[in-house]
Amino acid sequence: MDNDFLQRLDKARELAGVPFVINSGFRCAKHNKKIGGVPNSAHLRGLAADIAVPDNETRYKILYGLIKAGFRRIGIAKNFIHTDIDIVTKPYPRMWLYY
């Protein structure tokens, strides 16, 4: 995993005030393909994480922490929040829904 990404993620966790349970961090190409990840996924370069979201209150706190820590690429799903710092190959800033 990218050190800058991990430091920023830890700062977001501190700001959110809740534990971050990571569902997916770094992925090898084989696993990424198996789970249907996009070929240019930021997970392949250790620049992304999917954080578990058990309820709406936690979702709000995680989003707050990510935004305050400077994350500008955030995807929101029912059970997780994706964030990455892949500003080279992906549009920036962006927020999207997986619903």
Structurally, the chain folds into a number of domains equal to 1
Burial level of 8, CB count in 10 A (0-12/13-18/19+)?
middle
CATH number at residue 54: 3.30.1380.10
Residue with tokens 């929040």: 81
Tell me the residue range of the domain where 79 lies: 3-97
Condensed to tens digits (0 to 9), the pLDDT of residues 5-51 reads 999 999 999 999 999 999 999 999 999 999 999 999 999 999 999 99
Give the count of beta carbons closer than 10 Å to the beta carbon of residue 96. Answer: 12
Residue type, 79: N
Query: pLDDT by residue (tens digit) across 46-91?
Result: 999 999 999 999 999 999 999 999 999 999 999 999 999 998 877 7
**Both tokens of residue 46?**
């250790």
